[in-house]
Amino acid sequence: MLFTARYVLPVTSPHISDGAVLVRDDRIVEIGSREDLVARHPDEPVTDFGLAALLPGFVDLHTHLEYTAFRGLVNDLPYTRWKLQVVEREQVLDDRDWQDSAMLGALETLRSGITTIADITSSGASARAAVAAGLRGVIYREVSTMRKAEVPDVMSRAAEDMAAWLAAADPSLIRVGLAPHAPYSCHPELYRAVAVEAAAHSVPVSTHLAGSRDEYDFVKYGSTSFAVDFEDPTRWADVGWLPTGVSPVRYLLQWGFFDAPGIVAVHCVQVDEEDIDVLAGRGVAVAYCARCNAKLGMGVAPLKSFMSRGMTVGIGTDSPASNATMDFFDEMRFGMMLQRALSGEAGFLSAEHFVRMATIGGAKALGMDAEIGSLEPGKQADLVAVALSHSHQIPTQDPYSALVFTANQENVLMTMVAGRVMFEGGEWATLDPAEIKDRVEPIRVKLRG
């Protein structure tokens, strides 16, 4: 099948005007000009998207599909109070609720042109939703305990869940990993255990890190609201906390966490130059979640410092619980403008750079850049077609600027994963949006209490 559009954006090479992509089975066979490919493959069916951009599917480097039903539930609170509210309210949900919530997230994910997710889940609902939707992804089993004695059991149960998720999935699409929740909710021996397991078996790892000032002060000084809530058994754990005297990043360094390969650190907004040196030196990639960080008053990731050290950075939506939508165009747009406003440099990080972060950047962070993240012969056929023909988009001078500054998820014409069209023309290949929405509404009622 030939797919053609006004602009084909390979991402790792210059864009092609009036371009085409030849797909066979699950692979990209060839890219080039429409005229050339159509002439050389006259018997190939052609799908022409017209005034549109055809580019690699987006890689959402951090999300929680299972929290989609929490959209708009807890608002206008700083991170710590928001987190505690979410933890309290989620207690009313059962397994089916988590599953339905994750399915709603999968629906929106494909609508937004996202083909690969890096999802952290406790319930496993995200793994099942990803399989049902035909998504590619790394599904991380979240682990947490503040009690040292519980670490072996926590790791054992996580291993069982990961094996079950993998057995129920297509291994060419789904990988599984481990995600210690955060320094304020995990005993350091849990971080050490995850690092040992990851190093021994090449298990992908992700963790929330340096995500708020409260986390920083709690880890370093033993102060802030976390110190109170951790001693409340109805909240976190009935154990005390001794201040470490170091930042969250250097705390995890002391416990050997960064010995694990392929770590994706989420947020990293409360970091100094020494912290960044540690992360860069250990090859840690960062998931930049600008809208979530801003909405919850967490801080702003210092992208310029990350980039100056050659760190790999991708883009994450986090979840509708903290971010309202999974619109990846909004995420790119807000993330870029925020960095420009803070730096005072209008040219700092171009639209093209942000599209690269959203595609090949996320793929590289997950160790998947040999297979996805760019349009190249031999790579997996993960494609998204985005209309650039609406009144708010024309005239189009530069396709990258048009994508970042004018597009939204409603402009997505097609989302393809491994050569399969999973979303096109407002319809999902394997999901029933009406049924999913109907099932989610009772969850909202539950959560409101």
Check if the beta carbon of residue 403 is closer than 8 Å to that of residue 351: yes
* pLDDT of the residue at 241: 62
* pLDDT of the residue at 346: 76
pLDDT band at residue 228, thresholds of 50, 70 and 90?
very low
Q: What is the mean pLDDT of residues 2-31?
A: 98
285 vs 319, residue with greater confidence: 285
Q: Do you find a cis peptide bond into 395, omega within 30 degrees of 0?
A: yes
The structure tokens listed for 353 are 């750079």
Distance CA 449, CA 437 (A): 19
pLDDT digits (tens, 9 = 90+) for 184-203: 999 999 999 999 999 999 99
Domains and CATH numbers, the chain: 2-56+381-430 (2.30.40.10), 58-82+109-365 (3.20.20.140)
Q: Which helix (H) or strand (E) holds 3?
A: strand 2-8
pLDDT band at residue 345, thresholds of 50, 70 and 90?
confident
pLDDT digits (tens, 9 = 90+) for 275-300: 999 999 999 999 999 999 999 999 99
3-state secondary structure 190-224: HHHHHHHHHHHHCCCEEEEECCCHHHHHHHHHCCC
* pLDDT of the residue at 433: 97
The structure tokens listed for 80 are 């710590």
In this structure, of 45-59, 217-231, 250-264, 392-406, the range with the lowest mean pLDDT score is 217-231
- Quote the DSSP letter at residue 345: -
* pLDDT of the residue at 414: 99
The mean pLDDT value of the chain amounts to 94
Percent of the chain whose predicted confidence (pLDDT) is above 70: 96
Q: What is the mean pLDDT of residues 115-123?
A: 98
Full-model pTM: 0.96
* pLDDT of the residue at 67: 97
pLDDT of 168 strictly over 60:
yes
* pLDDT of the residue at 307: 95
What's the burial of 257, exposed, middle or buried (CB within 10 Å: 0-12/13-18/19+)?
A: buried
Check if the beta carbon of residue 130 is closer than 8 Å to that of residue 174: yes
Q: In sequence order, which ranges of 94-145 are alpha helices (DSSP H)?
A: 95-111, 125-133
Task: Report the SS3 class of residue 90.
Answer: helix
pLDDT of 166 strictly over 90:
yes
Q: How many other CB atoms are there within 10 angstroms of residue 355's CB atom?
A: 25
In this structure, of 52-56, 142-146, 237-241, the range with the lowest mean pLDDT score is 237-241
pLDDT of 270 strictly over 70:
yes
For the chain, what percentages of helix, strand and coil (3-state, to nearest 5) are there?
A: 45, 20, 35
